[in-house]
Amino acid sequence: MSRLGPSVVLACLVAAACARSVGPARTSEEARARVGALLDAPDAGTSEFAVIGPEAVPALQAELLDAQANDARRLAAARALAGLPGGAGLGALGDAVASPRLTPALRDAVAEEIGSHDREEAVARLGPLLGAADPSVRAAAARGLGRAGGAAARKSLEDRLEREEDPGVRERLQASLAQAQP
């Protein structure tokens, strides 16, 4: 084995240790580096992202919106945002649903993350997106609201169904209504 091999391994171990260091990030650059290292670690948990502090939100949002990153990494960023304490990342997820940088499949997954974590936040973030110009945004919002359930989500879905003209979105609205629990 060349001398480069152990050096590379040591560098990776140091980067992983730094990412998991205790305490909030002191700068946005540090937050981005720690978030990137945690996303590369297959066993990283939401609590490790939370330790980074408020700077984790924009760093994770940047990863989610990075069209050059693979979808698995972007979805991991979405899950980390959704799991931050106090719903700190849900606003960033709501903004991401309407972003043209997301593929329709990733948009659906992000909307479902919102709907899986906070019913009221899902209605507040996804309800207005039912009126978006892009049908894939409307469909994703419907998917997330179906996941969230509740009376307010059902009302939003029913109201949109009355006005929806796109057959694919109408189908998604109907499926979400069937899924939504009162």
Mean pLDDT of 150-173: 97
Q: pLDDT at position 74, please? A: 97
Instruction: Report all structural domains of the chain as residue ranges with CATH numbers, in order of start.
Output: 8-88 (no CATH), 89-182 (1.25.10.10)
In order, the DSSP letters of 104-133 are HHHHHHHHHHHHHH-HHHHHHHHGGGGG-S
| Rounded alpha-carbon distances, angstroms, from residue 23 to 50, 55, 82, 85, 118 | 10, 12, 20, 15, 27
Model pTM above 0.85: no
- For 53-91, the pLDDT digits (tens) are 999 999 999 999 999 999 999 999 999 999 999 999 999
Cβ neighbours, 10 Å, residue 122: 30
pLDDT band at 7 (very low <50, low <70, confident <90, very high): very low
> What per-residue confidence (pLDDT) applies to 5?
47
Would you say residue 15 has pLDDT above 90?
Answer: no
pLDDT at position 144, please? 97
**Stretch 34-58: mean pLDDT:** 94
Q: What is the pLDDT confidence band of residue 108, given thresholds at 50, 70 and 90?
A: very high
- Residues 117-135 have pLDDT tens digits of 889 999 999 999 999 999 9
CA angle 88, 106, 82 (to 5 degrees): 15
